[in-house]
Amino acid sequence: MPDALITPELLRRLEQFQLLAARRAKSSAKGERRSRARGQSVEFADYRTYVHGDDFRYLDWNLYGRLDRLFLKLYEEERERPVRMFLDASESMTFGEPRKFDFARQVAAAIGYVALSGFDRVSVNPFPDLVNGPESDPAARTMELAARGALRSVRGKKSALQFFQNLGALTAGGSANLNQALRRGALEARRAGLAVVISDFLDPEGYEAGLTALVGRGFQVDLVQILAPDELSPTTFGDLNLVDSETGAHQEVTFGRFRLKAYRQTVQNFVQRLREYCQARGINFFTASSNTDLQDLLLKQLRKAEVWG
Amino acid sequence: MHFLAPLAFLFAASIPVVIVFYLLKRKRVVKLVSSTLLWRKYLAETQASAPFQKLRKNWLLILQIILLALVVFALARPYFATKAKPAQLRVVILDASASMQATDETPSRFEKARAEALKWVDGLAGNDQMVVLQAGANTEVKQSATTEKAALRRAFQACVCSDGPTRLVPALKMAESLVRDLDPRTNPEIHLFSDGAVPELNEFENKALPLVFHRVGKDANNVGITALDARSNPEDARQRAIYASIANFSTNSQQTEVELLFDDRLLETRSITIAATETSPQVFLAAQPRDGVFTVRLTAKDDLAVDNQASIVSLLPKPVKALLVSRGNRLLERALRAVPNVELAVATDLTDPATGFDFVVLDGVTPTVWPGGNVLAIHVVNTNWVQGVTQVESPPIVDWKSAHPLLRYAGFDNVQVMQSLSAKTPTWATSLVEAPQAPLMFAGELGRQRIIWIGFDTLESNWPLRVSYPIFVANAVEWLNPANARSGQLLVKAGDPFRLALTEPAASAQVTLPGGAAKSLTLDPSASELVFGDTLKQGTYKVRLGTNDTVFCVNLLDAAESNIKPHEAVELGKYTKVTATTKHRANMELWRTIAAIGLLVLLFEWWYYHRRTV
């Protein structure tokens, strides 16, 4: 399954990257991220006066020789940083050629692999929850529930293969509520870390409340917006009866080539509004079409956007 | 506002039909999209729950209803019942004289004037009338008063520029008669499209002519032949002297080659340079083996080509046969014999019409039979010529017409007359020598007969002792010689009729025009002369009458016409002039504009529709 998501060659290239964190890790588990906590590592942090009961091993004997006073060397504690990915698995993500959802999984796999390589804990929150459709296969549903459960917490590079398999097992469908999913994720997290939201953000309810909840919880948020080529520049014209894939609402529209420019402007405005919202809140924002070259996106564009380095 | 066809409003019933079409549901293609979020802007326009909500702000429908309403409105033929404004009359005079052929305007002055005039036709208001007059050597009514623009355009297209001089007086008289009695409120106008090279128009000075002068022409670069004559060389009777006057009307000196041709054979070429606005007289001497046509041609490239060539028919001189009927007047007889080439016969009475002689001199003898040919009548009364003849004693000579060919170089200084017959100058004659009481001498042409009448007996005056006497006799011989008169008739100005006396009745004649085209004329068997009026083009014409051929030449030979300098104003007498208008006033009709706007609305509607769909 990993081959379907990401090639071994690309994986090797990704190993050299490290997710960039502007904030110190706050997790309690040990890891490789710098934290404000003091503990055992090779990174010197500060001195403090010796008090009774301190471990002699950390006394600075050179300093004692010069000052005749006992000082204890303190080291930074290196801790893990949880990476929480919110993956839009709604019906709208099944559109596009290639499918937006496939592209989103590939991006998620790449980010997850970089995080796992850095000994960070990765959790993937696909939303909406799996719907129990009348025609759905119970076995497949069980499989996917298991995969979703496994994706909630993954740690260690050795789990990468399993991580990819579980991502590959995910399916998209149903109507999503982005705000609700993000808000719930923010509440559930015991420790804030890096939150990566991968979605098309085409939610009639908006995205502001969810993102505000994440930022408020202390997450460093990265947004990856994925749009289908057909959404950026429609190819169907005439008198249309549009059916919304998620809500099922019918809308009549008369659309001609003369209006293509105005439509593109509408899309640009939508993306620009989202970008400005992110900039105002220190959120990394990135948008891509689902037909973008994955290697180019991961190795050049995301690096340039300082998602990793 | 009223309507001529109010029933047409029934067509308004079609407007609801258009609305119904809009209410009908369009068949739409069902398309599943990821989200309708990005389409909301376009959804808003067509979202409708109630049928009439659908029609709100539908510009396509509004445009179609406006168009349909306009069509119905037009079909109803609306009109305003107002007091009709009296129709305006415009008389357009198009100068078709030779100077209008000048090429300083492109392609020519005449074409420019025609184009300008056609613009005025376009600007003619609905019920305004226009008359088209073509003024060349003759005035032609090309179109009588009409409002029909197609006819007016046809009339202008039918106008042709001639080689003749401008004779504007008849055209203006005609135009004046057309506008004279019109209601002044109708504001009639006479529009003259010309270069302003027109003869004197003194008679219109006080007529308050509503004349608008549209000037055409820019430059005056022209060299032309303004006079041409062929005579015997006084020094060598075997040769002919061809006299040509060549004028330069441009503001620079001009160089040109002057060629002399006899029957299209080049005899001589000379190069001359003429200073600006100067005239150069040129005399060519050439032997002439037979009757023929001398042509003088200029090679200068100027704006007017028609005056660069002139032709003249030159007939070989023949002896003049003269008959002197006298009781004995040696002085007169000697004077007649002194004239070269005269064969004189003397008689004491005349009993036949003397058809064998070129002219008859009646010296104080009332003939039994009056001669049929030309006559010099001295102290003779013919009641057919003069009436109320009285006798005057010692009439003093107060004036004489030295410009007349008969009195050329013949003055009446110190001439005393003892007694003379005195009569009123007849209408056909010109008084030559005047006494306070009456003329002592007059000359003129009665029918085809040239007559010189002298009221006094020359032997009862001291005139024969004066040097002017033999000169007068020589002039009289030349004037009365029918051959000279005939050669004068063979030189016709363009536009003037050619007249030819018929010696015997003829039923038809054929005229060959300069271009080679032939024209057949049907003659009245009782006619005594042939009159041919189609002499608008210069060149050599040939008239075939039975087996006789007569050649005559048509020339411009008009200095006023050759002077193509455009005039700023047309002068009507000494104190009145009409300055060239610079305005190009024309009533532009709006219907074309309105139709264009209608078409644009239609195009916009089409575009709008397609913009919305595909």
Q: What is the pLDDT of residue A33?
A: 61
Q: Choose between B24 and B137: higher pLDDT.
A: B137
3-state helix, strand, coil in chain A (%, to 5): 40, 25, 35
CB of A157 less than 8 A from some CB of B: no
Angstrom CA distances, A108 to A123, A309, B263, B310, stand at 10, 17, 111, 106
Please give the ipTM for the structure prediction.
0.77
- Identify the three-state secondary structure at position B82: coil
Q: What is the pLDDT of residue B417?
A: 92
- From A222's Cα to the closest Cα of chain B, the distance in A is 23
Which pLDDT does position B463 carry in this prediction?
93
Residues 6+ apart with CB under 8 A from B427: none
Mean pLDDT of chain A: 83
Which CATH topology does A2-26+80-304 take? Rossmann fold (3.40.50)
Q: Tell me the percentage of chain A whose pLDDT exceeds 70.
A: 87
Q: Give me the percent of chain B exceeding a pLDDT of 70.
A: 92
- Chain A and chain B share a number of CB contacts under 8 A equal to 102
Confidence of residue B4 (pLDDT cuts 50, 70, 90): confident
pLDDT at B105: 86
Contacts of A249 in chain B (CB under 8 A): 36
To the nearest whole angstrom, how far is the Cα of A237 from the nearest Cα of chain B? 6
pTM > 0.80 = no
Q: pLDDT value at position B319?
A: 86
What pLDDT is stored for residue B30 in this prediction? 87
Per-residue confidence (pLDDT) for residue B152, from 0 to 100: 92
Contact flag B42-A255 (C-beta cutoff 8 Å): yes
Residue contact B39–A251, C-beta within 8 A: yes
Between positions 70 and 109 of A, the ones with CB within 8 A of B are 91-96, 100
pLDDT at B594: 65
Q: Which of A248-252, B94-98, B385-389, B584-588 has the lowest mean pLDDT?
A: B584-588
Rounded Cα gap, residues B335 and B316, in angstroms: 24
Asked if A236 reaches chain B (Cβ–Cβ under 8 Å), the answer is: yes
Cβ–Cβ under 8 Å, residues B168 and B199: yes
User: Which residue of A91, A94, A251 is in closest CB contact with B36?
Assistant: A251
Rounded mean pLDDT of chain B? 84
pLDDT digits (tens, 9 = 90+) for B339-378: 888 899 999 888 888 888 989 999 999 998 889 889 999 9
Residues of B in contact with A242 (CB under 8 A): 31-33, 36, 39, 43
Name the pairing type of β-strands B129-135 and B374-378. unpaired
Q: What is the pLDDT averaged over residues A232-251?
A: 85
pLDDT digits (tens, 9 = 90+) for A247-280: 888 888 877 777 788 888 889 999 999 999 999 9
pLDDT in tens, A20-62: 655 555 555 656 666 665 666 667 778 888 888 888 888 889 9
Closest-CA residue of B relative to A229 is B34
Q: What angle do CA B234, B236, B289 make, to 5 degrees?
A: 115
User: In this predicted structure, what is the pLDDT of residue B26?
Assistant: 66
Identify the closest residue of chain B to A205 by CA–CA distance: B37
Of B34, B41, B613, which is closest to A238 when you measure between CB atoms? B613
Closest A-chain CA to B608: A258
Which of A9-23, B20-34, B332-346 is the least confident region? A9-23
Which residues of A are less than 8 Å from B613 in CB distance?
237-239, 254, 256
Shortest alpha-carbon distance between residue B59 and chain A (Å): 14
Strands B89-95 and B189-194: parallel
Residues of B in Cβ contact (< 8 Å) with A263: 38, 42
Chain A residues closer than 8 Å to B30 by CB:
240-241, 243
The pLDDT tens digits for B39-88 are 877 654 554 444 555 566 677 788 888 888 888 887 777 777 655 556 68
pLDDT at B385: 86
The CA distance from B53 to B47, in Å, is 9
Q: Do B613 and A236 touch (CB under 8 A)?
A: no
Note whether B314 and B292 are within 8 A (CB). yes
* Option in A92, A96, A251 nearest B43 (CB): A251
Residues of A within 8 A of B35 (CB-CB) are: 92, 200, 202-204, 244-246
pLDDT at position B134 is 92
Of the listed ranges A66-70, A186-190, A287-291, B106-110, the one predicted with least confidence: A186-190
- Map out the domains of chain A as residue ranges: 2-26+80-304, 31-79
Helices then strands, each counted (H, E), chain B? 11, 34
Cβ-defined contact of B34 to A228 (cutoff 8 Å): yes
pLDDT of the residue at B48: 46
A197-211, B183-197, B261-275: segment of lowest average pLDDT: B183-197
Residues of B in Cβ contact (< 8 Å) with A231: 34, 38
Q: Do A249 and B36 touch (CB under 8 A)?
A: yes
pLDDT digits (tens, 9 = 90+) for B565-583: 888 888 887 777 888 776 5
pLDDT at B612 over 90: no
Which residues of B, range 23-82, sit inside 8 Å of A by Cβ? Answer: 26-39, 41-43, 45-47
pLDDT, average across residues B518-536: 85
User: Using a CB cutoff of 8 Å and minimum separation of 24, what contacts does B10-19 make?
Assistant: B11/B71, B11/B72, B11/B75, B12/B69, B12/B72, B14/B68, B14/B72, B15/B65, B15/B68, B15/B69, B15/B72, B18/B61, B18/B64, B18/B65, B18/B68, B19/B55, B19/B61, B19/B65
Smallest CA–CA distance, residue A151 to chain B, in Å, is: 26
Using the Cβ of A241 and the Cβ atoms of chain B, whether some distance falls under 8 Å is answered with yes
Decide if B39 and A242 are in contact by the 8 Å CB cutoff. Answer: yes
Contacts of B49 in chain A (CB under 8 A): none
**All domains in chain B, ordered by first residue:** 2-81+602-613 (no CATH), 89-218+566-583 (3.40.50.410), 320-486 (3.40.50.880), 491-553 (2.60.40)
At A309 the pLDDT is: 67
Give bridge partners of residue B325 from the DSSP assignment.
B347, B362
In the prediction, which pLDDT does B598 show? Answer: 74
Q: Which helix (H) or strand (E) holds B20?
A: helix B14-23
pLDDT at B344: 92
Query: Chain B interface, mutation test: which of A90, A246, A253, most B Cβ atoms within 10 Å?
Result: A253
pLDDT digits (tens, 9 = 90+) for B208-255: 888 888 888 888 889 999 989 888 777 776 788 899 999 999 888 999
B609: closest chain A residue by CA: A256
Residues within 8 A of B (CB atoms), A 265-304 only: 266-267, 270
Whether residue B411 is predicted with pLDDT greater than 90 in this model: the reply is no
Within 8 A of B59 by CB-CB distance, chain A residues are none
pLDDT at B47: 47
Any A CB within 8 A of B614 CB: yes
H or E element in which residue B152 lies: helix B149-158
Nearest CB among A91, A202, A242 relative to B31 is that of A242
| Shortest alpha-carbon distance between residue B610 and chain A (Å) | 7
Asked if the model's pLDDT at residue A4 lies above 50, the reply is: yes
Using alpha carbons only, what angle is made at residue A78 by residues A73 and A79, rounded to the nearest 5 degrees?
A: 145
Separation of alpha carbons B206 and B520, rounded Å = 45
Q: For A112, list phi and psi in degrees, rounded to 5.
A: -60, -40
Which pLDDT does position A30 carry in this prediction? 59
Confidence of residue B611 (pLDDT cuts 50, 70, 90): low
Region A177-185: mean pLDDT is: 91
CA distance B322 to B490: 23
**pLDDT higher for A268 or A309?**
A268
